[in-house]
Amino acid sequence: MQLKKIKISCHLKSQPNKSLILQVFELPTYSGIWNSLGADEEEQAEYYTEFLTFAKANQLHYTLWALYDFEEIPATVVERFP
């Protein structure tokens, strides 16, 4: 998984008066022009489980969402749909 990149950034937590939040973290199941290697739901669940375990252990704040897992995306969010 990609958690190694997050682990490298965790040293920032030791900086006083610096809050961390991981705002965009996703593994979409969408498979198409924007993401030709879309994950299946099982891979996505595994990915999120690993991340949530890591986030809890490191007391990270986070938001989870995957734009392309929504069936309808408002034009105000993206200009062109995949």
- Condensed to tens digits (0 to 9), the pLDDT of residues 14-64 reads 666 766 677 666 777 766 666 667 777 888 888 888 888 888 887 888 887
Q: CA 37, CA 43: separation in Å to the nearest integer? A: 12
Q: How far apart (Å, rounded) are the C-alpha atoms in residues 24 and 65?
A: 7
Q: Which pLDDT value is given to residue 78? A: 65
